[in-house]
Amino acid sequence: MSAEVKDGKALEQLVGIIEKAIAGNDNVTVEIDRKLADKITGEQRQFDVALTVRHQHHTVVIAIECRDKARPVGVADVEAFHTKCQHTGVNQGVIVSTSGFANTARTKADLLGIRCLDIEEVASFNWMLAEGMHVIEKKLLHHSWKFFPEKAGLVDDSNMELLDDKGNTLNLAVLSANAQRVLNEQLPEQPPPTEQKELVMRVNGRGLTLRNSQTGATTPVRFGVVRLTYSVAHSIAPHRLVQYVEKADDKHITDAAVAEFQFGDRTMRMIIVYKAGEGGQIYLATAPAEKS
């Protein structure tokens, strides 16, 4: 099993998205890291994924434990999870494993009413022909701004402060976000790869004010000039292909393809959940932080 799938939080997110796609209606709520009160101790017990199913006057809670260990799930794991479910009022317990289950654990789970599901990595799907997702990263390397006042002589570069239409000071983080926005707007959808290139743009000064930090004098901004240095990189984010199965009943539940890619300073995951005869659903999510 790949590192991407075997990271615990990533597995919880994947299982949560798969269950949400399978549910397909508003009567089912899927939550990650759901806490339920222990009816004996009052302590809050955490479940990796929980489904709350509501139908008329009935409510059923299904709790899922995601196991990403190197070894198969054992009898002790099943017994501990069953006890946890009993003490928190869970109606149905499910264990999902990336490394399978010991035969004795499957027997014990069947006796206790715990479902055993497997996440298995596969080499290919007949519905997924692409090796991965084509990613184009437009990266802002550097930006500089020059603002020209309506009234000359009131401010200069040594004392200039930039204010928005509400009088708030615009800091570097705001300018960086606007620089990235300008870059995204000006570049075509599929720009050619480049290690470093420059773009100079005149920007509208409407609603902006320059203030002298020493005297407090202000003047509207006539216009601004932004100089952007950027790079463009093309890459393929490979698909990780997995199937969700229940081996006890020889039941294939669904397939999923996962691709991870960078979006600015964030790692994103595109997850396609596909079931034969029903088609696929695409989900985009921020990749969870790895467990420390």
Cα–Cα dist 177/174, whole Å: 5
CB-CB neighbours of 26 under 10 Å = 7
Cα–Cα dist 230/174, whole Å: 18
Confirm if 75 and 108 have CB atoms less than 8 A apart: yes
Chain centroid offset of residue 42 CA: 32
All structural domains of the chain with their residue ranges: 3-125+238-286, 133-235
Cα angle 20-25-27, degrees, rounded to a multiple of 5: 100
Q: Count CA atoms closer than 13 A to 193's CA, side-chain side.
A: 6
Cα–Cα dist 21/281, whole Å: 7
Judge residue 240's burial from the number of C-beta atoms within 10 Å of its C-beta, 0-12 exposed, 13-18 middle, 19 or more buried: buried
| Top-level class of domain 3-125+238-286 | alpha beta
Kindly give the confidence (pLDDT) of every residue in the chain, 292 residues in length, as a single tens digit, with 9 standing for 90 and above: 343 444 689 999 999 999 999 998 889 999 999 999 999 999 999 999 999 999 889 999 999 999 998 999 999 999 999 999 999 999 999 999 999 999 999 999 999 999 999 999 999 999 999 999 999 999 999 999 999 999 999 999 899 999 999 999 999 999 999 999 999 999 999 999 999 999 999 999 999 999 999 999 999 999 999 999 999 999 999 999 999 999 988 999 999 999 999 887 789 999 999 998 899 999 999 998 765 4
Q: The pTM is what?
A: 0.80
